[in-house]
């Protein structure tokens, strides 16, 4: 964990953070096809072969690329939206947002040259960055922004919030749902305590409790299901809605999916 010294110095804002939920390993017979391995090697070789421009004295200088008209339009839209988001933030997140603007451009540049190295037929001019590359760079930057919000929240979370986050991660590793009885066994607690812990997650907006029918003559079982957005970093607490014998959770807007819908091209 990065301490206050490095957060205050701005080091944390310069890092692209991510915190995947630990998942159990699964054996698979799947392999990467030799064709794709060769293709990846060729792309990397071409990228490594890129050369600097040189000034009159033989010193390397950056090679400047231009934006296509549609690329400039996509960049302007992101720039203005991102600036509006940043002005509404404070502290660590505001610092992170100031760096994400540049990362969006850098990521778009990487995507542009990957397309060039792969002989993408939709890339009309290798010296001009189009809307397609800008769009992918923006999507990646927004995803890292969502991760920053989630991880920075971990830095400031209370003991109760930290415990609930660990519960959520454990349930995710179990496949996204757990019965009250299974949770009791996992946690080594009473049945009543098990239900209360899961109900607290429902109240916080992280999922729902439902009665599910068993096969054969088995009695219905009460199970907790995580809400669909819990693993994406958006854990805003929507209001819980009681519905018959179950408690469901109203969906929340996923900013990352909105960004993908708005900026995704056909690449």
Specify the pLDDT at position 159: 77
Specify the pLDDT at position 49: 92
Specify the pLDDT at position 19: 84
* Chain-centre distance for alpha carbon 114: 22
Q: What is the mean pLDDT of residues 110-138?
A: 97
The domain ranges of the chain are 4-13+36-156, 159-253
Give the pLDDT confidence of 5-23 residue by residue, as tens digits: 666 667 888 889 888 877 7
Which of 35, 20, 134, 39 minimizes the C-alpha distance to 78?
134
Q: What is the mean pLDDT of residues 88-115?
A: 95
Instruction: Determine the Cα–Cα distance for residues 110 and 107; give it in Å rounded to an integer.
Output: 5
Higher pLDDT, 253 or 205: 205
237: pLDDT strictly greater than 70: no
Burial 1-20 (b: 16+ CB within 10 A, else e): eeeeeebeeeebbeebbeee
Helix axes 255-263 and 131-156, enclosed angle (nearest 10): 170
Instruction: Determine the Cα–Cα distance for residues 241 and 118; give it in Å rounded to an integer.
Output: 50
104, 263 contact by CB (below 8 A)? no
Give the pLDDT confidence of 216-233 residue by residue, as tens digits: 666 788 899 998 554 444
Q: By mean pLDDT, which of 76-80, 129-133, 192-196 is the weakest?
A: 192-196
Q: How many CB atoms lie within 10 A of CB 261?
A: 10
Judge: domain 159-253, CATH 1.20.1260.10: no
176, 206 contact by CB (below 8 A)? no
206: pLDDT strictly greater than 70: yes
């Amino acid at each position: 964990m990065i301490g206050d010294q490095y957060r205050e110095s701005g080091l944390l804002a310069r890092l692209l953070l991510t915190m995947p939920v630990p998942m159990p390993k699964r054996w698979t017979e799947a392999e990467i096809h030799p064709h794709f391995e060769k293709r990846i090697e060729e792309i990397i070789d071409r990228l490594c072969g890129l050369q600097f421009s040189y000034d009159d004295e033989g010193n390397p200088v950056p090679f400047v690329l231009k934006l296509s008209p549609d690329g400039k339009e996509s960049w302007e839209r992101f720039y203005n939206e991102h600036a509006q988001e940043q002005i509404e933030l404070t502290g660590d997140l505001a610092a992170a947002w100031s760096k994400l603007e540049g990362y969006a451009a850098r990521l778009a540049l990487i995507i542009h040259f990957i397309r060039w190295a792969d002989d993408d037929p939709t890339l009309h001019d290798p010296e001009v960055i189009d809307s397609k590359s800008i769009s992918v760079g923006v999507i990646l930057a927004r995803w890292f922004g969502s991760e920053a919000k989630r991880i920075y929240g971990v830095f400031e979370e209370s003991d109760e919030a930290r415990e609930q986050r660990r519960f959520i991660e454990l349930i995710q590793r179990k496949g996204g749902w757990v019965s009250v009885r299974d949770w009791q066994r996992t946690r080594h607690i009473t049945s009543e305590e098990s239900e209360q812990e899961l109900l607290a997650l429902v109240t916080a907006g992280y999922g729902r409790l439902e009665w599910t029918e068993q096969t054969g003559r088995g009695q219905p079982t009460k199970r907790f299901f995580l809400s669909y957005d819990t693993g994406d970093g958006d854990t805003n607490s929507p209001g819980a809605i009681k519905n018959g014998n179950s408690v469901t959770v109203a969906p929340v807007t996923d900013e990352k999916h909105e960004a993908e819908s708005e900026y995704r091209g056909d690449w």
